[in-house]
Amino acid sequence: GIKFFAKYGENVTIVPPKPLQIFKYCRQIFMWVYGKNFAGQLSILIQDVDGRSKRIILGKLNFLGWRKLKVRIGRRVKQQEDLLNKKKFIQIKKIQYRAANRTFRPIWHYFYIDDISASVREKYTDKQSDDW
C-alpha cells in the first residue's frame, strides 16, 4: 500500500526492493491495483536491453476497488539484442504515480498494488546451422 500527501502534478516513485527482470520477450505487463477514486496516473519505468529507460502509462486510478491494469509492450521497448543468443533482459525499474487532484490543494492519496506479472514468449533464436 502507498499513502502520501500531494497536490496536483506531484509524483511519488516506488522502487522495487529487488530487480523485476523479464528474460523472455514480453507482450504485456499486468498489475492488480486497488483504486480509491483518485484521478492520478500510474506508470512504470522500463529499462530496455540497451540500458535506455522508457516510461509506459498503465492508466488512471479513477475507480473504486480492485482492477487489473494492463499495458501492451510491443515495439515500445527494445527487447531483441543485436546479436542472437546473447543473454539480455528488460527490467521494471520503478513504478510512478502522478497526482491529479481536482483541486490545487494537497490531499491524501492512497492505493494498493498486488501481483505484478507479464505475458511472455520465447525470444527468437536462429536454428539454422552455419556448418557447411
Q: What is the pLDDT of residues 97-124, one digit of tens each?
A: 998 877 778 888 889 999 998 988 876 6
User: Residue 21 half-sphere exposure, CB side, CA atoms within 13 Å?
Assistant: 8
Average pLDDT, the chain: 84
pLDDT per residue as tens digits for the range 55-104: 999 999 989 999 999 999 877 788 776 565 566 788 999 999 998 877 77
Label residue 19 by pLDDT band (50, 70, 90). confident
CA separation (Å) from 63 to 1, 5, 7, 66, 79? Answer: 16, 19, 19, 8, 32
pLDDT value of position 96: 93
Alpha carbon distance 4, 53 (integer Å): 25
pTM for the predicted model, two decimal places: 0.78
pLDDT value of position 52: 87
Rg (CA), the chain: 18
Q: Which residues contact 115 (CB under 8 A, 6 or more apart)?
A: 30, 31, 32
Point out the least confidently predicted range of 18-32, 34-48, 95-109, 113-127.
113-127
Is 101 within 8 Å of 21 (Cβ atoms)? no
pLDDT value of position 33: 94
Alpha carbon distance 10, 25 (integer Å): 33
